Chains A and B, each alone.
Chain A
C-alpha cells in the first residue's frame, strides 16, 4: 500500500492529540512556572520512550495473523469510541470539546492550587499537570503509530506522520502562545474515527481468517462505507432531535 494514506492518517490523529496536550502544557506553563512544566513534559516523554522500548519489539515479534486480530479489534473499538463521541458532539448531545474553555478551566485550577516543592521539583502542580497531559495524549499517539506502522510494515512512515503533526502543532502553539482554538477538532476526530474503525475492521477480519474481496483495495470501499454510515447517524440523530426538540441528554465535557 502507498505510504501517503498511512502518513496522513497518523498525521491527523496525532495532530488532534498534540493540540490537547499543548492546551494543558500552555495552561500549566503560562499560569505557574515553565521550568516545572517542562520537567513534567520531559518526565512524560521518558516514560513514553520506556513504554515504546518494551511494547514496540513485543508487538513486532507477534505473528502477523495474531497481530492483525488483536490490533484490529483494539483499533476498531478505539475508532468507534472516537466516532461515537464525534457524532454525539456534532448533533449536540455532547458538549463540543472547546480548547478555549478547556484552557480556561486548567488556568483557573492552576491559579487556585498552592505551590508545593516536592522531590526536587520547585512547583509540583504544573509538573504533574504537564506529566499527566503529555503521558495520556502521548500514549494515544504511541498506540496509533505502533499499530498502524506495524500492520503496514512501515513504522518509518507512521513516525514521519506523527513527528510532523507534533512539530506543526508545537511550532504553531509557540507562535501564537495560546491554545489552538481554530482547529476543527470535532471533524478531525470524526475523520480519524472513520480511519481507525475502517483499518481496525479490515485488519481484525483478516486476522480472524477472512479474505477481503480485492485484498487491500477493499479499504477503498470500506472507508467511505464507514464514513457514510457515521454521517447517516449524524443525520438520523439531528432529525430525531429536531422532531423531539428535546434538551441535550449527555453534556459532559471529556478530555479526549
Chain B
C-alpha cells in the first residue's frame, strides 16, 4: 500500500507539480475552447493563451503572498 502511495505521489509530483490549480485551469481552458469550437461554433483560439498566462500570474501571486 505504501509503495502504491509513493508511486502515485511520484506521478502526481511529476505531472502536476507544486500547484494543482495550474493544471485545473489548463484543463478548464481546454474544455472551454472545445465547447466554444464544437457547440457555439466559435473559433476561440485566444482562450488557451489567456488561460495559460493568467494561470501563471495567479499561481505566482499565490506563491509569493501566502503565509
On A, residues with C-beta under 8 Å from B are 69, 72-74, 76-78, 80-81, 83-85, 87-88, 91, 93, 139-140, 197, 201, 204-205, 207-213, 218, 222, 225-226, 229-230, 233, 236-237, 240-241, 249-250
Encode B26-62 as 1/0 by CB contact (under 8 A) with A.
1100110110011000011101110011011101100
Q: From residue B36, how far is it (CB to closest CB) to chain A in Å?
A: 8
Which residues does chain B contribute within 8 Å of A93, judged by CB atoms? 63-64
Report whether A209 and B37 are in contact in the complex, using a CB–CB cutoff of 8 Å. Answer: yes
* Complex interface residues of chain B between 1 and 45 (CB less than 8 A to chain A): 14-19, 22-23, 26-27, 30-31, 33-34, 37-38, 43-45
Report whether A210 and B15 are in contact in the complex, using a CB–CB cutoff of 8 Å. Answer: no
Which residues does chain B contribute within 8 Å of A139, judged by CB atoms? 14
* Residue of B15, B19, B56 with highest tally of chain A CB at under 10 A: B56
Query: For the complex, what is the distance from the CA of A197 to the CA of B33, rounded to whole Å?
Result: 17
5 contacts across the A-B interface (CB closer than 8 A) = A77-B26, A87-B60, A208-B31, A208-B34, A249-B66
Which residue of B16, B17, B47, B57 contacts A233 across the interface (Cβ within 8 Å)?
B57
Report whether B15 and A77 are in contact in the complex, using a CB–CB cutoff of 8 Å. Answer: yes
Report whether A210 and B45 are in contact in the complex, using a CB–CB cutoff of 8 Å. Answer: yes
Which residues does chain A contribute within 8 Å of B31, judged by CB atoms? 208
Report whether B64 and A73 are in contact in the complex, using a CB–CB cutoff of 8 Å. Answer: no
Which residues does chain B contribute within 8 Å of A233, judged by CB atoms? 56-57, 60
Contact-residue bracket for chain B = 20 to 34
- From known contacts A208-B30, A210-B37, A250-B63, infer whether A80 and B22 are also in contact, taking CB-CB under 8 Å: yes
- From known contacts A73-B26, A84-B60, infer whether A209 and B33 are also in contact, taking CB-CB under 8 Å: yes
Report whether A84 and B49 are in contact in the complex, using a CB–CB cutoff of 8 Å. Answer: no
Q: From residue B38, how far is it (CB to closest CB) to chain A in Å?
A: 5
Q: From residue A232, how far is it (CB to closest CB) to chain B in Å?
A: 8
Which residue of B14, B33, B52, B60 contacts A210 across the interface (Cβ within 8 Å)?
B33
- From known contacts A93-B64, A210-B43, infer whether A205 and B16 are also in contact, taking CB-CB under 8 Å: no
Report whether A84 and B18 are in contact in the complex, using a CB–CB cutoff of 8 Å. Answer: yes
Report whether B60 and A88 are in contact in the complex, using a CB–CB cutoff of 8 Å. Answer: yes
Q: From residue B26, how far is it (CB to closest CB) to chain A in Å?
A: 5
Which residues does chain B contribute within 8 Å of A91, judged by CB atoms? 64
Which residues does chain A contribute within 8 Å of B64, judged by CB atoms? 88, 91, 93, 237, 240-241, 249-250
- From known contacts A81-B18, A209-B38, infer whether A222 and B49 are also in contact, taking CB-CB under 8 Å: yes
Query: For the complex, what is the distance from the CA of A212 to the CA of B45, rounded to whole Å?
Result: 6
Query: For the complex, what is the distance from the CA of A250 to the CA of B48, rounded to whole Å?
Result: 28
Query: For the complex, what is the distance from the CA of A212 to the CA of B37, rounded to whole Å?
Result: 12
